[in-house]
Amino acid sequence: MAIDRSVSDLYRYLRQQRERYGDTLYVDEEVIRETELAAQGLTEENGEVTEAWKTARTLEHLYDLIHDCRKCPLAETRTKFVFGVGDPQADIVLIGEAPGADEDRQGEPFVGRAGQLLTKILEAVDLSREDVFICNILKCRPPNNRDPLPGEVEQCEPYLHKQLELLKPRIMLALGRIAAQTLLRTNDSLTKLRAGVHAYQGIPLVVTYHPAALLRNPNWKRPTWEDVQKFRRMYDELRNADLP
């Protein structure tokens, strides 16, 4: 945690001061302020105080700063914080709504039967989990896998924004109706959402079924195949546009 690091830094600073000056303590006011801010999960840059996680420069640093988040009641019921997995330089990001029971236990998105099916879906268009980054809007499991509440989305979605800022993906795939409706702030049906190409945070977004839904209704596997084929074509077009 950032707080732990700040306390450790302060301890080292005080030890160095004692070695220099003995029992007479000289504490830099800036060190005191930095430590006080860190204890509140804050930092200061260019005279402006902000939440420390907003200044993260890497996904690893962001995880360190947010994995003990207590902003909403889901922190009290989660087993593990589910940050996301995959290539930190991925061009492709897959986004679901929230972790389920398997994800909550393992701390990784899209595991279990739904995760295995997602792996197969990716492989069908010559991609692997290592080629992409996979995450959810919420980082903690809602009890009984209920839909995310507006207040939970409000607290957690900024973390997703920061992940995308660091990843800079070329294209994204929303997995499931709830994820798509939440990201796009719409009540449109999944059928309508699948028919178009959208944008989220300025990034092209394609919508398809959630893998768990395919386990319940295998008839949706064919339209999902059509969706991911479209997705793959769009991705290839973006890559080809970069060629000289």
Concatenating the DSSP letter of every residue in 11-27 gives HHHHHHHHHHHTTS---
Look at residue 62 in the predicted model and tell me its pLDDT.
98
State whether 36 and 156 are in the same domain. Answer: no
Q: Torsion angle of alpha carbons 128, 132, 138, 142, nearest 10°?
A: 0
In a domain, 155, yes or no: yes
State whether 92 and 170 are in the same domain. Answer: yes
Quote the CA–CA distance of 234 and 244 in Å, as a whole number.
18
When divided into structural domains, the chain yields a total of 2
Look up the CATH number of the domain holding residue 198.
3.40.470.10
State whether 118 and 191 are in the same domain. Answer: yes
In a domain, 193, yes or no: yes
Strand partners, 136: 96
Count of helices and strands (H, E) across the chain: 11, 8
Residue 10 pLDDT > 70:
no
Reported as a pLDDT band with limits 50, 70 and 90, residue 244 is confident
Reported as a pLDDT band with limits 50, 70 and 90, residue 173 is very high
State whether 85 and 186 are in the same domain. Answer: yes
In a domain, 234, yes or no: yes
State whether 213 and 155 are in the same domain. Answer: yes
| pLDDT tens sequence across 144-158 | 999 999 999 999 999
Quote the CA–CA distance of 94 and 92 in Å, as a whole number.
7
Reported as a pLDDT band with limits 50, 70 and 90, residue 120 is very high
State whether 165 and 95 are in the same domain. Answer: yes
State whether 155 and 188 are in the same domain. Answer: yes
Domain extent at residue 85: 76-240
Look at residue 36 in the predicted model and tell me its pLDDT.
52
In a domain, 61, yes or no: no
Q: Are strands 133-136 and 92-96 parallel, antiparallel or unpaired?
A: parallel
Mean pLDDT of the 215-244 span: 94
- 168 close to 197: Cβ distance less than 8 angstroms: no
In a domain, 24, yes or no: yes
Strands (E), the chain: 42-45, 48-51, 85-86, 92-96, 133-136, 171-175, 198-200, 203-208
Residue 65 pLDDT > 90:
yes
Taken as a whole, the chain contains a residue count of 244
State whether 44 and 138 are in the same domain. Answer: no
Residue 39 pLDDT > 60:
no
In a domain, 64, yes or no: no
Reported as a pLDDT band with limits 50, 70 and 90, residue 242 is confident
Percent of the chain with pLDDT over 70: 81
State whether 130 and 232 are in the same domain. Answer: yes
In a domain, 70, yes or no: no
Q: What pTM, to 2 d.p., does this model score?
A: 0.82
Which two three-digit tokens encode residue 166?
Answer: 């660091």
Quote the CA–CA distance of 164 and 185 in Å, as a whole number.
18
Look at residue 3 in the predicted model and tell me its pLDDT.
46
Which two three-digit tokens encode residue 84?
Answer: 């996301």
Look at residue 243 in the predicted model and tell me its pLDDT.
75
State whether 26 and 104 are in the same domain. Answer: no
State whether 41 and 87 are in the same domain. Answer: no
Q: Higher confidence at residue 8 or residue 145?
A: 145
CA proximity to 203, closest of 101, 91, 116, 110: 91
State whether 36 and 143 are in the same domain. Answer: no
